[in-house]
Amino acid sequence: MEVRRKEPSNKRVKPLSRVTSLANLIPPVKAAPLKRIGQTLQRSISFRSDSRAEIVPHRPWSRQAPPTITKRRDSKLWSETFDVGLGQMLSSKEIKRQEAIFELSQGEQDLIEDLKLAKKAYHDPMLKLSIMTELELNQIFGTLDSLIPLHEDLLSRLREARKPDGSTDHVGHILVDWLPCLDSYNSYCSNQVAAKALLDHKKQDHRVHDFLQRCLESPFSRKLDLWNFLDIPRSRLVKYPLLLREILKHTANDHPDRQHLDEAINMIQSIVAEINTQTGESECRYYKERLLYLEESQRDMLIDSSRILSCHGELKNNRGAKLHVFLFQDVLVITRALTHNEQLWYQLYRQPIPVRDLEWEDLQDGEIRLGGSIRGAFSNTERTKNFFRVTYRSGGQLHTHSFQASDAFNKQQWLNCIRQAKVAVGPEPPRSLPFYLKMYYIYVDERVASAVNHPDKTTSGMFSLTIKNVWSWRASRSVLLVTFLL
């Protein structure tokens, strides 16, 4: 369910089919109706594109323009930079270690180039040509500018640690000293949800659309759109643990760098986890602020108190109507997406459903027909696939919702999310007992204690106890408690 996005390559990146928070930080919902938020940083942020928005036609120049040659990024291996004449013979394990260190360094250089390109080729021209306002560009690009010096600093340190022959003895201490600065990623990643929403909205403006299309068809973009470049920092961040583990894997047990590498790996894992949490909470807040309530009775404290958005996405009901469903940590919210004041909002379609009261059922293909009838009457099962049902009781009545996912994989993702949410909230806490029952239990406990402490003594009356019936009293107490709770 979690999709990991690679950094830009020379090939055009297709939207990934699939939410995340802090992070699911994004293919359109049509291709990916479910967004997992549990590990937001491990996947790209996704937004539902407004299907009702006017499609901006391509300009004639874009259809008639001759094909351009995609600019390829130069890449090389560490072995191509190693001077055998200056260096000594290395073992195969050490060569792999050097390659891993070189990959870390080369990745920093590529990242810096891409971030500078995003500013020079996208941000600055759109500001100069007034294609977007400065406020809009600041929202979309966030604190991207502040990330460039951080990575320039690491690249400089790694290059200084490289010996004349091209090899590097130690990198662990460099990483331990540098990694804390990644805390600045908190604000950048937390802004990505709102940034992507605004960018998608601005693409409906033909000037923005035409400018971005020109960039996409230019060699410098390597066939990557603006969001690919804006998502590079997040992609790089989640790659650090893998890069460091690869270096550690090829570092000998007695190598002095090993201890620092272990420490660096623990640090980056903690940093990524914290940023993931912050990003997830930011995404949760964003969508809570986008909810529209038809009635005051639809407002629910479980929504207000939610800090986690487990998943969300587009589903259809058994009448074919498109819904956007949100699974917060404690409540399921069914909405309809709509545009209001040129922004995407989510209007509550039904009463929120507490996760604790919710039950789910996986429906077999063909078990439900459009319109709500069960089994048999609908012969063409093609349109009745990938359904699941949720039910809950409210006011003594049983309420049912049947949802259709885009495919079997998406349906399974939804069921997994609901199952995990049910486990997380736990069983319903026991209700408080009436005062007279509490007094009865206290009295019984006192009589039991008396009988145990004084086995030779009996008492009269209906509560007389001896050592022989101590356990029967305790058993009857348990039965009464269970009977009351049921």
Q: Write out the two tokens for 430.
A: 């026991």
Cα gap 384→267, rounded to integer Å: 49
Backbone angles phi, psi at 256, to 5 degrees: -65, -15
Q: Residue 308, exposed/middle/buried by CB under 10 A (0-12, 13-18, 19+)?
A: buried
Residue in the block written with tokens 């949410």:
421
**What's 138's DSSP letter?**
H
pTM: 0.67
What are the structure tokens assigned to 163, written together? Answer: 């010996």
- Strand 359-362, strand 353-354: pairing: unpaired
pLDDT at residue 34, as a whole number: 64
Tokens of 60: 């004639």
Cα→Cα distances 390→46, 362, 363, Å: 25, 9, 10
Of 65, 439, 18, 413, nearest to 215 (Cα)? 65
Domains of the chain: 64-286 (1.20.900.10), 296-425 (2.30.29.30), 435-485 (no CATH)
Kindly tell me the burial class for residue 370, based on how many C-beta atoms sit within 10 Å of its own C-beta (0-12, 13-18, 19 or more): middle
Which helix (H) or strand (E) segment is 292 a member of? strand 291-292
Strand partners, 389: 361, 402
Neighbouring CB atoms inside 10 A of 221's CB total: 23
DSSP string covering 168-219: BS--HHHHHHHGGGGGGHHHHHHTHHHHHHHHHHHTTSHHHHHHHHHHHTSG
pLDDT at 54: 38
The amino acid at residue 161 is A
Question: Residue 14 has what pLDDT?
Answer: 40
Q: What is the pLDDT of residue 261?
A: 96
Residue 44: is it exposed, middle or buried by C-beta count within 10 angstroms (0-12/13-18/19+)? Answer: buried
CB 232 within 8 A of CB 65: no
pLDDT tens string, the chain, 486 residues long: the values are 444 444 444 444 444 333 333 334 333 333 344 665 444 454 443 433 343 333 344 433 333 444 444 455 555 665 556 555 545 677 888 889 999 999 999 999 999 999 999 999 999 999 999 999 999 999 999 999 999 999 999 999 999 998 888 889 999 999 999 999 999 999 999 999 999 999 998 998 999 999 999 999 988 888 889 999 999 999 999 999 999 999 999 999 999 999 999 999 999 999 999 999 999 999 999 999 999 998 888 999 999 999 999 999 999 998 889 999 999 999 999 999 998 777 889 999 889 999 999 998 988 887 776 654 444 444 455 568 899 999 998 877 888 999 999 999 999 999 999 999 999 887 765 555 555 555 555 555 555 555 545 545 444 444 444 444 444 444 444 444 444 444
Cβ pair 293, 34 in contact under 8 A: no
Q: Report the first-to-last Cα separation within the chain, whole angstroms.
A: 38
Which of 316, 411, 285, 303 has the alpha carbon at shortest distance from 353? 303
| Distance between CA atoms of residues 333 and 322, nearest Å | 14
Dmax (CA) of the chain: 106
Token pair 């919210």 in the structure block, residue: 333
Question: At what angle are helices 134-141 and 192-202 packed, to 10 degrees?
Answer: 130
User: Can you spell out the DSSP letters for 381-430?
Assistant: GGGG-SEEEEEEEETTEEEEEEEE-SSHHHHHHHHHHHHHHHHHH-SPPP
3-state secondary structure of 445: helix
Strand partners, 278: none
Q: Which long-range contacts link 117-126 to residues 24+ away (Cβ below 8 Å)? A: 117/220, 117/229, 118/144, 118/226, 118/229, 118/230, 118/232, 119/144, 119/145, 121/215, 121/220, 121/221, 122/215, 122/226, 122/229, 125/211, 126/208, 126/211
**What single-letter amino acid sits at 390?**
V
Rounded Cα–Cα distance for residues 229 and 112 (Å): 11
